[in-house]
């Protein structure tokens, strides 16, 4: 018999908050986490704006030795996992930790470490490359480090599907619990790729906004959008089998009721222009949840602020939801946080949970110029008070990866 899956813990660190409370306050107060690059000297780059985790000092979270042995992406992952785990109230006394999985993804992995060690290799020679280079940089290490610190001994995997990575992690965690393979899964994503090579790669691809106005850089669905703003951070959700959560008296935030994933099979970076792949992922999620399109109250769109993404996602939503797409509230919170790449879906899932809890639809901030082709019910600039029972969150990644999850008020 299929089991019900609920969310019992949340954690986050990102450009608008160092925990879930600060993050949600930032969303409600329309905080924009975008500002000038400070993590490296950006002179000569065409990109001047990113969304960094502000005033971050690893020594506040880790001892000196540990901070040197953890890539920034693993640091963020551990910080958000600690918060989510504490929030869940799970202990070895109330939960068999052998049945707690860790599904934590990163789109790129330890890119800052890779850049630094390649520079050392080039300048100082191969004998000076750190023995910690590989363990710090490979994309599974955030999951591995969380498992080691928290003593979680269930299945540990890292799904890498570019910007859909952490939504895939949540979806696969949901399926794993639904079919009885684990009682609990820590699911989420982390990313820290704001460095010279990371910005150069996306900049030369012409994917990044070149605006120098922080209020007009990440502007999803706005007609003047011209690229995404790279963000960083991590978010984690504790997914748990319902009866297990009830037995230990856990606080239940929401229920995960649907997941759908597809591939465009079209292009390495561009989405399929007809939106077919994204639409089919949404349809799969809706069918998995046994819903009708009109049951959905709010969609947190992938909404990256690139010309192609926002247009094709609009087409996908209209194809998947039909007439219901005209009245469902849609927003993208990447105007607040920038685009956290592989961690985006997890952060947006946390925001969706809080939206359900507070009965508040997050706005698409800094939205000014309507795009006639992006003709959804985009929520502009101000949050909307609304009873929210069912939310869909979309993530679309390079390589044509599409993933949608559906959350329900418990």
Q: Which residues are catalytic?
A: 163, 302, 339
d(C-alpha 194, C-alpha 197), whole Å: 8
Counts for the chain of helices (H) and strands (E), in that order: 13, 15
d(C-alpha 22, C-alpha 16), whole Å: 7
Report angle CA 331, 8, 254 to the nearest 5 degrees. Answer: 45
Residue-level length of the chain = 410
DSSP symbol at 325: G
**Pair of tokens at residue 56:** 């971050």
Contact 275, 316 (CB under 8 A): yes
Report angle CA 200, 203, 207 to the nearest 5 degrees. Answer: 145
d(C-alpha 297, C-alpha 319), whole Å: 17
d(C-alpha 343, C-alpha 236), whole Å: 9
């Amino acid at each position: 018999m299929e089991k019900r899956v609920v969310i019992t813990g949340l954690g986050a660190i990102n450009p608008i908050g160092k925990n879930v409370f600060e993050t949600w306050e930032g969303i409600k107060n329309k905080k924009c986490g975008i500002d000038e690059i400070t993590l490296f000297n950006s002179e000569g780059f065409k990109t001047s704006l990113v969304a960094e985790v502000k005033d971050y000092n690893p020594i506040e979270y880790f001892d000196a030795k540990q901070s040197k042995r953890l890539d920034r992406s693993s640091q963020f992952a551990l910080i958000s996992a600690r918060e989510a785990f504490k929030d869940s109230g799970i202990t070895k006394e109330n939960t068999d930790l052998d049945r707690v999985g860790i599904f934590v993804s990163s789109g790129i992995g330890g890119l800052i470490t890779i850049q630094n060690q390649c520079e050392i290799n080039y300048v100082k020679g191969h004998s000076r490359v750190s023995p910690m280079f590989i363990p710090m940089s490979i994309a599974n290490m955030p999951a591995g480090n969380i498992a080691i610190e928290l003593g979680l001994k269930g299945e540990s995997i890292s799904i890498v599907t570019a910007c859909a990575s952490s939504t895939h992690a949540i979806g696969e965690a949901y399926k794993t619990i639904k079919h009885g393979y684990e009682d609990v899964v820590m699911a989420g994503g982390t990313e820290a790729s704001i460095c010279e090579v990371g910005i150069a790669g996306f900049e030369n691809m012409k994917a990044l906004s070149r605006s120098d106005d922080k209020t007009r850089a990440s502007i999803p669905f706005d007609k003047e959008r011209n690229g995404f703003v790279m963000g960083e951070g991590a978010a984690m959700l504790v997914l748990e089998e319902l009866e297990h959560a009830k037995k230990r008296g856990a606080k239940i935030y929401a229920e995960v009721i649907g997941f759908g994933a597809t591939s465009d099979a079209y292009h390495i970076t561009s989405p399929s222009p007809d939106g077919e792949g994204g639409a089919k992922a949404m349809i799969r999620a809706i069918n998995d949840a046994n819903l009708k399109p009109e049951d959905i109250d709010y969609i947190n769109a992938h909404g990256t602020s690139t010309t192609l993404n926002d247009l094709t996602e609009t087409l996908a939503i209209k194809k998947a939801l039909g007439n219901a797409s005209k009245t469902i509230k849609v927003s993208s919170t990447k105007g607040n946080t920038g685009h956290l790449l592989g961690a985006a879906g997890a952060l947006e899932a946390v925001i969706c949970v809080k939206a359900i809890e507070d009965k508040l639809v997050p706005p698409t901030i800094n939205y000014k110029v309507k795009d006639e082709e992006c003709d959804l019910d985009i929520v502009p600039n101000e949050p909307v008070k609304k009873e929210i029972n069912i939310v869909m969150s979309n993530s679309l990644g390079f390589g044509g990866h599409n993933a949608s999850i559906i959350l329900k008020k418990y």
